Amino acid sequence: MDNFQFYSPTEFIFGRDTETKAGEMVKKYGGTKVLIHYGSGSAVKSGLLDCVKASLDASGIAYTELGGVQPNPRDTLIYKGIELCRNEGVDFILSVGGGSCIDSSKAIALGVPYNGDFWDFYGTGKEVEKALPIGTVLTIAAAGSEGSGASVVTKEEGSLKRDVGSDLLRPRFSILDPVLTCSLPAYQTACGATDIMAHVFERYFTNTREVEITDRLCEAVLLTMIKETPRAIAQPDNYEARANIMWAGTVAHNDIVGVGRSQDWNSHAIEHELSALYDCAHGAGLAVIMPAWMEFVYKHDVMRFAQMAVRVWGCHMNFEFPDETALEGIACFRSFLHSIGMPINFEQLGAREEDIHKLVKKMGIGDGKTGGFVHLTSQDIATIYRIAANAGL
Amino acid sequence: MDNFQFYSPTEFIFGRDTETKAGEMVKKYGGTKVLIHYGSGSAVKSGLLDCVKASLDASGIAYTELGGVQPNPRDTLIYKGIELCRNEGVDFILSVGGGSCIDSSKAIALGVPYNGDFWDFYGTGKEVEKALPIGTVLTIAAAGSEGSGASVVTKEEGSLKRDVGSDLLRPRFSILDPVLTCSLPAYQTACGATDIMAHVFERYFTNTREVEITDRLCEAVLLTMIKETPRAIAQPDNYEARANIMWAGTVAHNDIVGVGRSQDWNSHAIEHELSALYDCAHGAGLAVIMPAWMEFVYKHDVMRFAQMAVRVWGCHMNFEFPDETALEGIACFRSFLHSIGMPINFEQLGAREEDIHKLVKKMGIGDGKTGGFVHLTSQDIATIYRIAANAGL
């Protein structure tokens, strides 16, 4: 096991009607003037925004608001948010929405006290030294941003998707009411589930030996998702299925399932180019990329893929030909994704094989290598895109 | 799933040589005058205490010290610690030891700013409103106190063992170096492992339905302990086994495996009377009590015990007679405890069947009931003690 630091100080408030506690929580963490940041009209239409405002009113907390966050959140709205916060003297950002909304909130939070362009921090490794405190009211189980210090945003000019990470960006509190996710359409539910499973797999495939505790915790989240996702799709109002998925999404990404080991994250990097170029859902892009990545790299550690096959997908171990078991596990993953309505190749995603050269170039690896499990060259990544382009069941 | 709050703000620093960071961490969390609180001479003899002092010196932090914490930590030393802290103007408590040492530190931490007897908080539900900040350097994987807000101490007069819990008692940081646990004798290693597994089982047996995610996380910790404990006992210096056990001990008790569900905790309460009366190790007491408790209550939810048998102990499900599978799982647990050198009945523990009446009386339930999974009467508890007294393989 590698040395590690684990720090997840966010206070999670989970369950029915917990959004009514938003005001109380902002007050607890010192906010006096809040920016409510949200996405599309659904938070307005559902009455959630009114509920949150009533809760802030009841706690005597002033607020201003900025809606319009899109999936794959854009820098343009973030600049607006930073200016608004400075003009209005905002000292706390309350994100009401899914991962995109939280990531946009984090960008605003670090941008407000920074004397320069917030984009300086994205994709550069530049350290965040100051940020406004954030709280979230989560409406989509997927990104895990409610419990992480990470933020991914897209620069419109050039469609660049880049990320930043800092403990200062971890939300002070996150309110998780599974009821808010019951209105999600099946497709978005499945995209979220895929993202959650991908967050686990990025950590599961490691070169660090003998990290049984995190292996088992990873498998715990995956087994839960395999049980609960089809239930949530078949019965959108099933509170228990939604609750298990929502908490699994947080556990999958606050790094409790990833400490003490090298992690990979190539599938995320490879996917980001797809959602940046085609503006597809991140989860859908992952459904196409991740099994293809697995097929390309599995020979690097056949027994690890066999372990996934047996422990996660319930395959029988082929002791004579472990490769068969490894491949069977990958096939199970792709079948599962298909069964929950995810695309499994470029055509189904709306991507084009002739763009592969452009996608690889935009990743900007050049002659270098990337990834924690298997170090991939630009050529390797092109091959993975090609496998993904033509995949079938 | 029940509504819940999850809050685990402790910063964990895990791995080899991390004890050299003690000074840096105390400084980060605002300590200027530290009480180093420790147990027996082993922290002195091993050089750990010198290492911690050197680290504090290097960070320019003043300190005083108080050793002598015993297993089942006593109120008498705590009173001394409180007085010492007040006289010396201590503003941070650094615990260097195992769970007893941390629990003693927590008692001192809440006692210093309290204008009265620290014991007022124990077993009474009285809310802690203020406490000195705590940090820990952990030397035994067992109690999980390094990541919890709980403290259990013993009042010498009357041998009363009682507990308190508060988010204010959660350590600001905990330093976990598995190397420090390599010198533990096999018996203590096994006691710690038993305590860790018991912390999970207290949460696993619940009346809340459909909490798959926490069920699976519980099983992840248990499967890890079943794999790693025999390795650590056979090869005391096996770093990887020690590391997996140490982190499993923290995960088992910061409540990540217990949220969203009712929990039981009867086995702990029943055991506490044993360790209070006989001064035996808490883990050893649990090894005797917990399987007996399981045998007494399993009919309350046969399928949950069958799930444990299949998922944790790898038993084959008997679909015709699920009771058989449930009982097989319990037998596997007791056999495992025996295999790692734990006592499995009163004689092996050094307890006496003729004391059962006294033990039950000291629990103080009277005509009431206790426990979250099955509500037990005093008579039920006497029966469990009798099963424990006479258990065999």
Choose the closest CB to A219 out of B11, B210, B220: B220
Predicted local confidence at residue A368, as pLDDT: 87
Q: How confident is the model at residue B113 (pLDDT cuts 50, 70, 90)?
A: very high
Predicted local confidence at residue A372, as pLDDT: 93
Predicted local confidence at residue A45, as pLDDT: 85
> Which of A5, A18, A203, A212 to substitute to test the interface with B, most B CBs within 10 Å?
A212
Asked if B18 reaches chain A (Cβ–Cβ under 8 Å), the answer is yes
Predicted local confidence at residue A274, as pLDDT: 95
Say yes or no to pLDDT of B158 above 90.
no
DSSP A143-207: S-GGG-SEEEEEETTTTEEEEEE-GGGS-SEEEE-GGGGTTS-HHHHHHHHHHHHHHHHHHHS-S
Give chain B positions within 8 Å (CB) of A213: 220-221, 224, 244, 247-248, 251
Predicted local confidence at residue B322, as pLDDT: 98
Q: How far is B43 from chain A (nearest CA, A)?
A: 22
For residue A312, what is the DSSP state?
I
Q: Give the tokens for residue B88.
A: 């010396």
All CATH 3.40.50.1970 domain ranges in chain B, comma separated: 11-180
Distance separating the N- and C-terminal Cα atoms of chain A: 36
Q: At CB < 8 A and 24+ separation, what contacts does B380-386 make?
A: B380/B296, B381/B266, B381/B270, B382/B356, B382/B357, B383/B296, B384/B270, B384/B289, B384/B292, B384/B293, B384/B296, B385/B270, B385/B289, B385/B292, B385/B353, B385/B356, B385/B359, B385/B360, B386/B353, B386/B356
Asked if B321 reaches chain A (Cβ–Cβ under 8 Å), the answer is no
Q: Do B6 and A9 touch (CB under 8 A)?
A: no
Asked whether the ipTM of the predicted complex exceeds the cut of 0.90, the reply is yes
Q: Does domain A11-180 have CATH number 3.40.50.10420?
A: no
What 3-state DSSP class applies to B216?
Answer: helix
Q: Alpha-carbon distance B64 to A359, whole Å?
A: 61
Q: Do A11 and B16 touch (CB under 8 A)?
A: no
Q: What count of Cα atoms within 13 Å lies in the side-chain half-sphere of residue B107?
A: 33
Q: Alpha-carbon distance A174 to B119, whole Å?
A: 35
Q: Alpha-carbon distance A95 to A102, whole Å?
A: 6
Return left, alpha or beta for A94; rule: phi > 0 is left, psi -120 to 50 is alpha, else beta. Answer: beta
Under 8 Å CB-to-CB from A322, ≥6 apart: which residues?
A302, A303, A306
Q: Where are the beta strands (DSSP E) in chain A?
A: 4-14, 33-38, 62-66, 92-97, 134-138, 150-155, 160-165, 173-176
Predicted local confidence at residue A158, as pLDDT: 86
Asked if B217 reaches chain A (Cβ–Cβ under 8 Å), the answer is yes
Q: Do A2 and B8 touch (CB under 8 A)?
A: no
Q: Could you list the mean pLDDT of each consecutive 10-residue stretch along chain A, which spans 393 residues?
A: 97 98 98 95 88 98 97 95 98 97 98 97 96 98 96 91 94 98 96 98 98 98 98 98 98 96 96 92 97 98 98 98 98 98 98 97 89 95 98 92
Q: How confident is the model at residue B82 (pLDDT cuts 50, 70, 90)?
A: very high
For residue B290, give the nearest of B349, B227, B208 by alpha carbon: B349
Give chain B positions within 8 Å (CB) of A260: 14-15, 243, 247
Measured between alpha carbons, how far is residue A244 from residues A48, A102, B207, B253 in Å?
Answer: 21, 21, 16, 20
Are B51 and B20 within 8 A, CB to CB? yes
Asked if A83 reaches chain B (Cβ–Cβ under 8 Å), the answer is no
Which CATH superfamily is B186-389 part of?
A: Dehydroquinate synthase-like - alpha domain (1.20.1090.10)
Q: Do A11 and B14 touch (CB under 8 A)?
A: no
Q: Do B14 and A8 touch (CB under 8 A)?
A: no
Asked if A321 reaches chain B (Cβ–Cβ under 8 Å), the answer is no
According to DSSP, the β-strands at A173-176 and A134-138 are: parallel
Q: Give the pLDDT mean for B367-381.
A: 93
Q: Alpha-carbon distance B48 to B42, whole Å?
A: 8
Q: Alpha-carbon distance A116 to A215, whole Å?
A: 41
According to DSSP, the β-strands at B62-66 and B33-38 are: parallel
Are B194 and B349 within 8 A, CB to CB? no
Predicted local confidence at residue B44, as pLDDT: 84
Q: Name the phi and psi angles at A74, rounded to 5.
A: -100, 150
Q: Alpha-carbon distance B199 to B212, whole Å?
A: 18
Q: What count of Cα atoms within 13 Å lies in the side-chain half-sphere of residue A190?
A: 21
Say yes or no to pLDDT of B41 above 80.
no
Predicted local confidence at residue A160, as pLDDT: 87
Q: Alpha-carbon distance B333 to B304, whole Å?
A: 15
Give chain B positions within 8 Å (CB) of A146: none
Q: What count of Cα atoms within 13 Å lies in the side-chain half-sphere of residue B368?
A: 7
For residue A146, give the nearest of A113, A101, A201 by alpha carbon: A101
> Which of A175, A176, A216, A228 to substitute to test the interface with B, most B CBs within 10 Å?
A216
Q: Alpha-carbon distance B213 to B191, whole Å?
A: 28
Give chain B positions within 8 Å (CB) of A13: 5
Under 8 Å CB-to-CB from B377, ≥6 apart: which residues?
B365, B367, B368, B369
Q: Alpha-carbon distance B130 to A60, whole Å?
A: 26
Q: Do B247 and A213 touch (CB under 8 A)?
A: yes
Name the class of domain A184-389: mainly alpha
Asked if A16 reaches chain B (Cβ–Cβ under 8 Å), the answer is yes
Measured between alpha carbons, how far is residue B214 from residues A222, B72, B94, B264 in Å?
Answer: 12, 30, 32, 15
All CATH 1.20.1090.10 domain ranges in chain B, comma separated: 186-389
DSSP B121-137: GTTT-PPP-----EEEE
For residue A20, give the nearest of A42, A46, A53, A67 by alpha carbon: A53
Predicted local confidence at residue A161, as pLDDT: 85
All CATH 1.20.1090.10 domain ranges in chain A, comma separated: 184-389
Which residue has 């025996």 as its token pair? B338
Q: Residue B348, Cβ neighbours under 10 Å: how many?
A: 14
Q: Do A221 and B216 touch (CB under 8 A)?
A: yes
pLDDT per residue as tens digits for the range B2-33: 999 999 999 999 999 999 999 999 999 999 99
Q: Alpha-carbon distance B344 to B347, whole Å?
A: 8
Q: How confident is the model at residue B301 (pLDDT cuts 50, 70, 90)?
A: very high
pLDDT per residue as tens digits for the range B204-251: 999 999 999 999 999 999 999 999 999 999 999 999 999 999 999 999
Q: Alpha-carbon distance A36 to A146, whole Å?
A: 15
Q: Alpha-carbon distance A158 to B265, whole Å?
A: 58
